[in-house]
Amino acid sequence: MNRSWNRRQFVLAGGAAATAAVTAKSWINPTSVKAATFTRMDVGNLTAASSQITSYAKAITAMKALPSTDPRSWSYQAAIHGTTAPCPCLTSWNTCEHGTEFFWSWHRMYLYYFEKIVRRMSGDYGWALPYWNWQLASESQLPSMFRDKTSPLYTVNRDANMNSGSGSLPPGDVNCSFALGDLAFTSAVEDIQNPHGNVHEDVGGWMANIQTSAQDPIFYFHHSNVDRLWDIWLAQGGGRSDPTGDATWKGKTYTFFDENGTAVTMNDCDVLRAAQQLNYTYQNEPAQVNEYCVIRIKIPPWLLQEVIVFDWPLPGPGPVEVNSDRLSVPVELGDKIKDIQAVAASKTDKLIVVLDSVQVDTQPGVTYQVYLGLPEGDEPTTKSPYYLGTFSMFGMGIKDQGPHGSMPATFRFPAGPAVTALLKENRKPSLTIVPSGILIDGKPSKPKAKAPLHIGAIRFSKRTEARAPISKVQPKP
Ligand code: C2O
């Protein structure tokens, strides 16, 4: 029993009566409140013999044996995320959300029904989807049960080194601190997509492409972790909240299929409280924060403001082109230097480097490390004070991936500490992009990019996360 919930229920019920804006669907019947039944376990604590793994393997085999028109079949489930199959498409195909504020919520709904289908198909009604806790150094390899060639959890359609166990995720690729540090939902849901996309790219093969990624059994363990990070982001407090006052965010409805193959719909208000509404928690997670759509919470929403401080004049007439080699774009800050310095030193605002209109013709098969002010002769290392972060082309900006995956991508990185350091040394900023890859036997690999990357604009911006004036959102008594 969740004790704090009862008290909250009482407080909220008073508010609800006053605003009379309660709909039956979203209202929770207090008698239905119970502790969550399912615990999603860290795969690092499981073995190939654990029931979570053997039941998953059984379900994969059973789902693959269903006709592909059955919405519970392995290929149909994957196609809901994305498919290369030509349309006319079946219901809900290609509906995954990337580069949008629906990223976390859409994937939560998707996993929720996938999990129900796995329960039914395995006959293991206590099954809960484990998570790949990839931020941990101890879990930087692909979990071992996915590397066993005889297991249904295996596919050859991955990076060969990840599949053999010699490959591992570089620490910079899986660093979530920028996203978790964000206060506004809009920033967090965008910035978390960066480490998430790096993992896709690093696993490679099917996982590197939104149209094929959900065919790989590791996809769901990966997203279980991404979903857990939503809970963790909220649990940090500091005013973090879901955009429950945003009509657009609440208003979109998606269709999935349940364990009977019956179409079901959900919206963001249905997935705000994983334990209460969806009946699961994560192993070792802090207490979940319960958010509510119906009730007008008396805290105003975050106003996220991002203003351009400086637009970099690009060296050529077209976009900056990055091939397989490290590339630097120097810049003259001119009289903007004081403004930039001020934002970099600010305690409340963040200086952000924005890479905008980023596109490639086809999946380049590399990740990109971003540095600001890395001295020319220095080896790039993610321990450098000039390292900003790593991004990958996943789900956005890839021209041959149809309308769903080709819209130009934007990437943001925190730049304050690097700018402060290099201005102190009296050096001019330069942006350095280093195409990179997974670690092989613990050492950086240098894969060749299969296509040039184009960056249409580079800028410094100032991000301000502030609360809206309280009077505007307080319900009238
Ligand atoms: Cu919708 Cu990680 O992909």
CA of 174 to the centre of ligand 1 (A): 15
Q: pLDDT tens, 288-299?
A: 999 999 765 566
CA of 131 to the centre of ligand 1 (A): 14
Ligand 1 touching residue 96 (CB < 6 A)? yes
Q: pLDDT tens, 7-16?
A: 222 222 222 2
Q: Is 417 left (phi over 0), alpha (psi -120 to 50) or beta?
A: alpha
Ligand 1 touching residue 142 (CB < 6 A)? no
Ligand 1 atom nearest to 196, measured from its CA = 2
Using a 10 angstrom Cβ sphere, with 0-12 exposed, 13-18 middle and 19 or more buried, the burial of residue 2 is middle
pLDDT band (50, 70, 90) for residue 226: very high
Residue 4 has pLDDT above 70, yes or no: no
pLDDT higher at 465 or 197: 197
For residues 430-439, average pLDDT: 97
Cβ distance 468 to 300 under 8 Å?
A: yes
pLDDT higher at 145 or 88: 145
Domain ranges of the chain: 37-292, 304-469
CA of 103 to the centre of ligand 1 (A): 8
Ligand 1 touching residue 81 (CB < 6 A)? yes
Q: pLDDT tens, 374-423?
A: 998 899 999 999 999 999 999 899 999 877 788 999 999 999 999 999 98
Q: pLDDT tens, 62-71?
A: 999 999 999 9
Q: Which residues contact 353 (CB under 8 A, 6 or more apart)?
A: 370, 372, 388, 412, 413, 415, 431, 458, 459, 460
For residues 179-206, average pLDDT: 96
CA of 198 to the centre of ligand 1 (A): 11
Ligand 1 atom nearest to 110, measured from its CA = 1
Ligand 1 touching residue 218 (CB < 6 A)? no
Lowest mean pLDDT among 56-70, 219-233, 309-323: 309-323
Using a 10 angstrom Cβ sphere, with 0-12 exposed, 13-18 middle and 19 or more buried, the burial of residue 130 is buried
- Our measurement of the distance from residue 393's CA atom to the centroid of its chain's CA atoms, rounded to an integer in Å, reads 13
CA of 421 to the centre of ligand 1 (A): 35
pLDDT band (50, 70, 90) for residue 28: very low
Instruction: Tell me how far apart the alpha carbons of residues 172 and 369 are, in angstroms, rounded to a whole number.
Output: 8
Taking CB atoms within 8 Å and a gap of at least 24, the contacts of 176-182 are 176/135, 176/229, 178/389, 178/413, 178/414, 179/229, 179/233, 180/229, 180/232, 180/233, 180/236, 181/414, 182/233, 182/465
CA of 210 to the centre of ligand 1 (A): 6
Cβ distance 44 to 139 under 8 Å?
A: yes
Rounded to two decimals, the pTM is 0.90
Ligand 1 touching residue 108 (CB < 6 A)? no
Equal CATH topology for 37-292 and 304-469: no
pLDDT recorded at residue 304: 82
For residues 77-106, average pLDDT: 94
For residues 110-123, average pLDDT: 98
Ligand 1 atom nearest to 96, measured from its CA = 1
pLDDT recorded at residue 25: 37
Q: Which fold has domain 37-292?
A: di-copper center containing domain from catechol oxidase (1.10.1280)
pLDDT recorded at residue 3: 28
Instruction: Tell me how far apart the alpha carbons of residues 296 and 275 are, in angstroms, rounded to a whole number.
Output: 21
Atom 1 of ligand 1: nearest residue by CA position: 96
For residues 281-286, average pLDDT: 96
Q: Which fold has domain 304-469?
A: Jelly Rolls (2.60.120)
Round the average pLDDT of the chain to a whole number and report it: 89
Ligand 1 touching residue 98 (CB < 6 A)? yes
Ligand 1 touching residue 196 (CB < 6 A)? yes
Ligand 1 touching residue 200 (CB < 6 A)? yes
Ligand 1 atom nearest to 213, measured from its CA = 3
Atom 3 of ligand 1: nearest residue by CA position: 210
Ligand 1 atom nearest to 199, measured from its CA = 2
